[in-house]
Amino acid sequence: MFCGALFTTGLRAQHPQPWNAPARFARPDLDSDEGGLWALMDRQERRLRRSPFVIRDHSLNNYVQDIACRLGGKHCPDIRVHLVRTPLFNASMAPNGMMQVWTGLMLRMENEAQLAAVLGHEIAHYLERHTLERLRDIKSASAFATFVGLFGAAGAIGQLATLAATFGFSRDQERAADRIGVLLMRKAGYDPAEAAKVWGNLLAESKARPDGGGASTLPMFATHPGAEERNETLATLAAEQPGGTTNATTWRERVRPFRSDWLREEIKLGQYEESVSLFTRMIESTPRDAELLAARGEVHRRHGGDRQFDLAVADFRAAEQIGHEPPEVHRGLGMIYRRRGASREARASLKHYLELAPQAPDAPMIRSYLEELGQ
Amino acid sequence: MRQLTMILSMLALAGCVAMAKVEKGERAIGDRLAVKIEGAWNQLDGPELGPAQTWTMEGLPIDQLLLYSGVKDGDLVHASGGDGKRKDFAFKANMQADEIVGMFEGMLTRDGSSFKLTRLEPSSFGGLSGFHFEYTLIRKVDNVVLTGVGWGAVSKGELFAMLYMAPRLAFFARHAADVERIAMSAKIRQSAQ
């Protein structure tokens, strides 16, 4: 296999082999293994279209689809991006052209070029027909006999197709997709240096965990090459021909209307260290963003503990000073003050919260706290 | 893969989950919680269940009633914790109502499901001052929209709670009144006997 060979013989970053995108794929014969795989993915895509987890906003969908089209070139009509509301870092590509991008990944992107790096990587899997390759690898392995025993011959193909399509690509395939993804980025005018930053950021987040990232919850870490290796490889590839756009301002403007929901979903995960690491990175990039400060403050508050409460109060107060802070800033402050027995401050903050969000689901509970705190 | 996992999990569950009838009348849940039920329920027991008692009227995964009795500080509120792959959710004795609801929210969304709190208000539970909450859960595995309701109270640093959830269409409404009567019947003893 072209890409496997490229990496098994070393990176050869200074003298990359040429790569040309294949012609558009015709729908394979339904009787073939590839046709069966496409049919299976078509069914999954029909289910996905009906899923309440899919983001249906046309503006955002068109924006991301356009980025995919810039990268996919002549394959644009065959690639369909679906944005899925799941607060983890993940994206996947099916052999029929269905791509899924999770909102946890969108939240972590700093600019358009970083998203292009991920989309380019996924499109590379599609162009190289990696899923089909994976299916054939599994079929030729001895494990196939086990599947035949379990599901019968026809059922086994279906199960293996599912396994091949969704369980993951080989590490060599991932390395190849990285390389082609960088080529696609460059061709579309994006700065390929942003690809390495995606993994660098993810690595920093993973290392923030108490176990240092040993048991990462990030699905993409399960099959992909080590983040350090990937970071280095992508940086080397980018250095071959530096330059290009990041479109950071456009990115921020286009995702801004959705970011509050994504931040809330991240907070709910309850992964204290990773969320603090993520929000701190985002705050370093835009220090006067009240929503980000509020989000980090809420993560500290939910974790609990004196030190975390101090950090939460500091973030909430900073958000308040900047202005246009979310109402939850005042609820957070009120709850901390209430717990600390600072009745006057608790009362003021909780009242402020109710003024800003009188219809909040927890308003009845907050009113009961105010009664308990007295006037 | 998800389909395969589901099939295997269901097969495993089919072999491992025991079901027993819970007759009407007053029923003890652990040492300190008792509820009165007016009709029979089904209680499930298995390695993937607990520490709550899991009851169902329609059968899993359609509806489930989770009954927590005396969850201590540091105890997980779900089974299968500690694998490091998914965040665990544990009760802390000093949690406030919104934090307890947040803990249940975390528990119910460990599989990627989506939770939306629709109401949180003060309420008595088991004769103690506690809270009542309502929520919507979109289950990741099958996209089914569930309506949920819960009650809770903390006594001597231990959590007592009851959660019920069922598909929004038909099933929740069918059992909501019974579930509320069960919640209203709850009694928490001050100490184990």
Interval B66-77: pLDDT, tens: 999 999 999 999
**C-alpha to C-alpha distance for A137 and A131, rounded to whole angstroms:** 10
Structure confidence at residue A172 (pLDDT)? 87
For residues A274 and A358, membership in a common domain is answered with: yes
In a domain? residue A249 = no
pLDDT digits (tens, 9 = 90+) for A4-13: 322 222 333 4
Whole-number CA gyration radius for chain B:
16
In a domain? residue A107 = yes
For residues A230 and A270, membership in a common domain is answered with: no
Range of the structural domain that residue A325 is part of: 258-373
Q: Using a pLDDT cut of 90, give the percent of chain A over it.
A: 68
For residues A121 and A153, membership in a common domain is answered with: yes
In a domain? residue A247 = no
pLDDT of A220 higher than 60: no
Q: Tell me which residue of A101, A81, A105, A77 sits closest to A91, measured CA to CA.
A: A101
For residues A103 and A218, membership in a common domain is answered with: yes
In a domain? residue A253 = no
For residues A265 and A218, membership in a common domain is answered with: no
Q: Tell me which residue of B137, B132, B146 sits closest to B101, measured CA to CA.
A: B132
Please confirm whether the linkage preceding A87 is cis (ω < 30° from 0).
Answer: no
For residues A218 and A316, membership in a common domain is answered with: no
In a domain? residue A178 = yes
Sheet of strand B33-37, all strands in order from the earlier edge strand to the far edge: B25-29, B33-37, B187-188
Q: What would the mean pLDDT of A53-70 be, rounded to a whole number?
A: 97
Q: Give me the architecture of the B18-188 domain, per CATH.
A: 3-Layer(aba) Sandwich (3.40)
For residues A66 and A200, membership in a common domain is answered with: yes
Structure confidence at residue B25 (pLDDT)? 93
**C-alpha to C-alpha distance for A194 and A186, rounded to whole angstroms:** 11
Angle of helix A328-339 versus helix A363-373 axis, rounded to 10: 40
For residues A273 and A190, membership in a common domain is answered with: no
pLDDT of A214 higher than 70: no
Residues in B closer than 8 angstroms to A370, CB to CB, are none
Structural contact between residues B19 and B44, judged by C-beta atoms closer than 8 angstroms: yes
Structure confidence at residue A86 (pLDDT)? 93
* Three-state DSSP class for residue B154: strand
Q: Tell me which residue of B61, B52, B50 sits closest to B143, measured CA to CA.
A: B61
CB contact, 8 Å: A50 with chain B? yes
Structure confidence at residue A170 (pLDDT)? 84
**C-alpha to C-alpha distance for B193 and B191, rounded to whole angstroms:** 6
For residues A269 and A354, membership in a common domain is answered with: yes
Structure confidence at residue A151 (pLDDT)? 53
CB contact, 8 Å: B118 with chain A? yes
Test the A interface: residue of B143, B146, B151 with most A CBs within 10 Å: B143
Structural contact between residues A202 and A227, judged by C-beta atoms closer than 8 angstroms: yes
pLDDT-based confidence at A159, cuts 50/70/90? low
Contact: A335, B98; criterion CB under 8 Å = yes
Residue window 296-315, chain A: list those with CB within 8 Å of chain B.
302, 304
In a domain? residue A192 = yes
pLDDT digits (tens, 9 = 90+) for A227-253: 777 888 888 888 888 889 999 999 999
For residues A218 and A72, membership in a common domain is answered with: yes
Long-range CB contacts (within 8 A, 24+) of A250-255: A250/A112, A251/A109, A251/A110, A251/A111, A251/A112, A251/A115, A252/A111, A254/A59, A254/A60, A254/A63, A255/A60, A255/A106, A255/A109
Residue type, A24: R
Question: Residue A344 maps to which CATH number?
Answer: 1.25.40.10
In a domain? residue A250 = no
**A214: which DSSP letter?**
T
pLDDT digits (tens, 9 = 90+) for A115-126: 999 999 999 999
**Parallel/antiparallel/unpaired status of strands A80-84 and A98-102:** parallel
DSSP H helical ranges for chain A: 2-8, 33-50, 58-72, 103-108, 112-127, 130-140, 143-167, 171-187, 193-207, 227-240, 248-268, 272-285, 290-303, 306-322, 328-339, 343-356, 363-373
**C-alpha to C-alpha distance for A369 and A98, rounded to whole angstroms:** 49
Of the candidates A240, A269, A299, which is a domain's last residue?
A: A240
Contact: A302, B102; criterion CB under 8 Å = yes
The DSSP string of A241-262 is S---B--HHHHHHHHHHHHHHH
CB contact, 8 Å: B145 with chain A? yes
Structural contact between residues A76 and A64, judged by C-beta atoms closer than 8 angstroms: no
Domain boundaries, chain B: 18-188
pLDDT digits (tens, 9 = 90+) for B91-125: 999 999 999 999 999 999 998 899 999 999 999 99
For residues A234 and A302, membership in a common domain is answered with: no
In a domain? residue A193 = yes
pLDDT digits (tens, 9 = 90+) for A252-261: 999 999 999 9
Number of domain units in chain A: 2
Residues in B closer than 8 angstroms to A50, CB to CB, are 143
Q: What would the mean pLDDT of B23-39 be, rounded to a whole number?
A: 94
* Apex B65 CA angle, B100 and B182, nearest 5: 95
Residues in A closer than 8 angstroms to B85, CB to CB, are 215, 217
